[in-house]
Chains A and B, each alone.
Chain A
Amino acid sequence: MRRTLLVGAVAAVIAVSLSGCHANNKSAGSGQTKAKTGGELDVLSPAPTINLDPAKSQNLATSTIHLVLRGLTTWKESATEAPTVVPDLATDTGQVSNGGKTWTFTLKPGLKYADGSPIVAADIKYGVERSFAPQLSGGLAYHKTLLVGGDKYQGPFDGKELDSIQTPDDRTIVFQLNKASGDWPWIASMPAFAPVPKKDENIQHYGDNPMASGPYMVSSLKQGSTLVLKRNPHWDRSTDPVRTAQPDTIVYTMGLDPTVINQRLIADQGKDRNAISSSRVPASLLPKVLGNPSVEQRLATSPSGALSYLAINVTHAPLNNLKVRQALEYAVNKKAVQVAAGGAKIGGELASTLITPGIPGYQSYNAYPAGDTGDVAKAKALLSQAGHAGGISLTMLTQNDSINLAEAQAVQSGLTAAGIKVRLKPEDSDSFYADTGASKGDYDLAMLGWLPDYPSALGNIQPLFDSSQIGNGNFNVSHYSNPAVDKLIAQASAETDQSRAQAMWGQLDQTIMADAPVVPLLYARNAFLRGSGVANFFAPPYPPYTNMLVVGLSE
């Protein structure tokens, strides 16, 4: 999960209100022509390093590593709709049996690595196994808690195999899970499910030039400077449902200052016409971008994104009283928060749900219809019913950067109007997450953002509201514990029929909101710039980042 996303998301918004400007009609940027095959695409990146080791990667399925590596499954995205999971190396998204505990995948025939050698099921198994080695931890690890024996297994480097992964032949791989999981097809799209040939490897340097199964392979890599990707001659376009692989070469320039990156793309000179930014547009440059139509048309803004929310510590008096929490739901002025975040056009839409638009299972509803600016009278009435007619005083944790502080102050102002005094406690990022992740929960309220690692309502709900996720650095910051909800989460997680699962998650969303453990504030947007020579550049509702697998150069 991306706990820090809100910081980045809000850093990309402006300090002026642009609310009401086609707020619901986000586009991926106009003026794009059809993409051609060939040319060099330049990616300007603020990241100082790029790690292509699948075990250590937290890249999403449409990010850089998946230009080089393929998984069993991948994501099909569009500019406006929720993504779907589709087969990648496998022939389908998995055959489920044993009540959701056994998943079987069959590899497509004729798949090859960049050196021409065949990709076999044992390589997928080895790739997953090596991700269990403590030396290679740090990547997306959802499979580790689900595979039978995963809690004890420590990787293949001492000669041991993980018996819950079987490969009866070169094209079949079977996963045995310790509990039913309807999300396994999504999990099988993660970097650890990329094939890795089993042979002696220098584990410190495998990520410098991994065996390519995707359309590109590493031509050269200088950490802190450049990564050059060239075509993989053995990638077969007919086997790949999502990657368009149009540029001949993709060059990443690393460690650039985000302001300079976006200044270069605004200037749109020379080689930069064929460049894109992997850094959100900084707040300081948004007026310049939005004030120039020729630049604005090169801006891709995600229709949705991370959930920005106010966590309520339900174990602290008087917040252990439902009426008081409901008063908070009505008292918050979400419009003021939106203005602080940069307005509807860039900052994001007002939120009322836990599952965000762009995630399957999202259902639009509002359990606390208070209007955009809050309903102070209703909030006061609820406080009065709770026996706090004279008002209450609370402490709110927030991060101490300017954007988070501005949003916290907007919340504080709305609550004050309803007789709820709020003392802000701004902290640096490390202290903030140490305090909000601590078991003692020494705060009343906290401002947070949340984006799941894959488009499943499980990722929206379980980490924030399952009672097992309280404290120990986890993210149930509200300390919300409801056995009925825990049970429903377990049932929805185990449901392998996606439409039934989505209905269950949608219902869970409403069940949790009835207890009011959080106040949803915004569906935060991301905005990215491209050069004028770039085509097929968009940021979908989820994940709100550029889809690297389809970007190309204009004809």
Chain B
Amino acid sequence: MTQYLLRRLGGVLVVMLLVTAVTFVVFFLLPSDPARLSCGKPCTPGQLAQVRALLGYNHSVPVQYLEYLRGIVLGRSYGSGAASLHCPAPCFGYSFPQGRPVTALIADRFPVTLSIAVGAALLWLVSGVLAGLVCALYRDSWLDRLVTVGALGGVSAPTFLVGLVGILIFGFRFNMLPVNGYVAFTDDPAQWAFHLILPWCTLAFVFAAIYARLTRTQVLEVLGEDYIAMARAKGLSRRRVFVHHALRAGLTPVLTLFALDLGGLLGGAVITEKVFGMQGLGALLIDAVASSDLPVVVGCTVFAGLLIVLANLVVDLLYGYLDPRVTS
């Protein structure tokens, strides 16, 4: 198992190096000039050269990439003397327009995304899996059909539409829930949860549909397996067969999908954050794209990539745990 873990961690490192390299290259292929963006108005060639030198864009691309990697490990400084801008490790770059290291911006915004993602994920996992199980247990009943139709609606509806309809109904029509804004958990836990109800429900509505469909399919498939019939034939109760034999096998793919979805969402619930005016990583990324704040774009992309890679690692380890043949 230790060897397997080390091998997987090595893979993570290689993938992350590739992610940073590709993101960095894309950064230079884009038509924007981040130095010009930070130069002010009007921007003379002399001022542009000063800003370019300060940000390190006067070096060749390979040198800049190495500096970038060095910054992630050791941190880096922009400029020298009393007015140098320090970016401590892990330094994912410096947002000149926002006047802050990208790492600090990510650290500021991550709690917002974490709050949205974890709450929504629990909601959609519980509701989706329960709905799927009910459908599997009462296959072809009116309940199954009802859940199937609801799931179809959830799968088909874009997040922004669900969010805006939620805002319209529960915010403006009935004035029951706040329609935007984020309150930090540390400031007021009750208001934190109150402001997150709509985003949680929006994401849960969209994701739970997928989980309900997947759970239903998986559990039905497992229930049709020979070993289930064998267990029933041996006289085990329906409940025992379902809980001890069908669920474990049926839910393994669901957990895999859950880890990947959660990993992806932690990298930024882009649409949900924008619709509900919550300044998480997704909103940070979108605003950076809109304003061509490329260090933030690169930093957020690398960070989101890291989360996905880590989620994959967790899935791999879970598989290794559930199926020892994988690690051998």
Contact = CB atoms under 8 A, between A and B. Distances in A.
Interface of A: 1, 48-49, 51, 53, 56, 58, 133-135, 137-142, 144-145, 151, 154-155, 157-158, 203-204, 207, 223-225, 253-257, 259-260, 263-264, 267, 269-270, 430-431, 433-435, 453, 463, 472-473
Contacts of A473: 33, 36, 43
A225 B195 CA distance: 13
Interface in B84-98: 84-85, 96-98
Contact of B83 (A51, A155, A223): A155
Contact of B79 (A135, A151, A207, A430): A135
Contact of A430 (B50, B82, B99, B292): B292
Contact of B31 (A138, A151, A430, A453): A430
Contact of B108 (A141, A151, A223, A256): A223
Contacts of A51: 98-99
B164 A255 contact: no
B141 interface: no
Q: Which 10 A-B pairs have the closest CB atoms?
A: A224-B279, A157-B83, A434-B31, A256-B277, A141-B40, A134-B50, A255-B279, A134-B54, A430-B32, A157-B82
Interface stretch (B67-75, B175-183, B250-258): B175-183
B51 A137 contact: yes
A153 B310 CA distance: 48
A155 B83 CA distance: 9
B137 to A, nearest CB: 41
Nearest to A474: B42
Given A137-B38, A430-B32, A151 B274 contact: no
B112 to A, nearest CB: 8
Contacts of A259: 164
Contact of B41 (A53, A58, A154, A267): A58
B246 interface: no
Interface string B100-111: 100000001100
A435 B182 CA distance: 39
Contact of A434 (B32, B83, B97): B32
Contacts of A472: 45
A264 B41 contact: no
B278 A255 contact: yes
B28 interface: no
A18 B119 CA distance: 46
| Secondary structure of the A contact surface, majority rule | loop
B82 A138 contact: no
Contacts of B108: 223-224
Contacts of A264: 172, 179
B105 to A, nearest CB: 9
B40 A140 contact: yes
Nearest to A158: B81
16 contacts: A48-B283, A51-B99, A58-B40, A133-B83, A134-B50, A135-B85, A137-B47, A138-B39, A139-B40, A141-B47, A151-B46, A225-B184, A257-B180, A263-B179, A472-B45, A473-B36
Nearest to A263: B172
B261 interface: no
Contacts of A431: 31
A328 to B, nearest CB: 27
A259 B47 CA distance: 38
Given A255-B283, A260-B180, A137 B50 contact: yes
B40 A204 contact: no
Interface of B: 30-33, 36, 38-47, 50-51, 53-54, 78-79, 81-85, 96-100, 108-109, 112, 164, 167-168, 172, 175, 179-182, 184, 274-279, 283-284, 287, 292
Contact of B42 (A53, A133, A269, A463): A463
A155 B182 CA distance: 38
Contacts of B46: 151
A137 B40 contact: yes
A360 B93 CA distance: 44
Contacts of B41: 1, 58, 139-142, 453
Given A138-B97, A141-B43, A255 B277 contact: yes
A270 B279 CA distance: 24
Nearest to A48: B287
A225 B280 CA distance: 11
A151 B31 CA distance: 27
B284 A257 contact: no
A419 B276 CA distance: 49
A138 B44 contact: no
Nearest to B83: A157
B275 A260 contact: yes
B50 A158 contact: no
Contacts of A223: 98, 108, 279
Nearest to A264: B179
A257 B39 contact: no
Nearest to B99: A204
Contact of B98 (A49, A151, A270): A49
* Of listed B45, B53, B99, B172, residue having the most chain A CB within 10 A: B99
Contacts of A269: 172, 175
Nearest to B45: A472
A472 B42 CA distance: 12
Contacts of A134: 47, 50-51, 53-54, 79
Nearest to B53: A134
Given A133-B83, A158-B82, A204-B100, A256 B164 contact: no
Given A138-B97, A155-B83, A224 B109 contact: yes
Contacts of B36: 473
Contacts of B83: 133, 135, 155, 157-158, 203
A393 B50 CA distance: 43
A225 B279 contact: yes
Given A157-B82, A257-B274, A269-B175, A138 B279 contact: no
B275 A48 contact: no
Contacts of A430: 30-32, 292
A127 B251 CA distance: 63
B99 A207 contact: yes
Contacts of B182: 225
B40 A256 contact: no
B275 A157 contact: no
Given A141-B47, A224-B109, A430-B31, 13 more contacts: A134-B54, A134-B79, A141-B39, A151-B46, A223-B98, A223-B108, A225-B182, A225-B184, A260-B167, A260-B179, A269-B175, A472-B45, A473-B43
B84 to A, nearest CB: 8
Nearest to B277: A256
Contacts of A463: 42
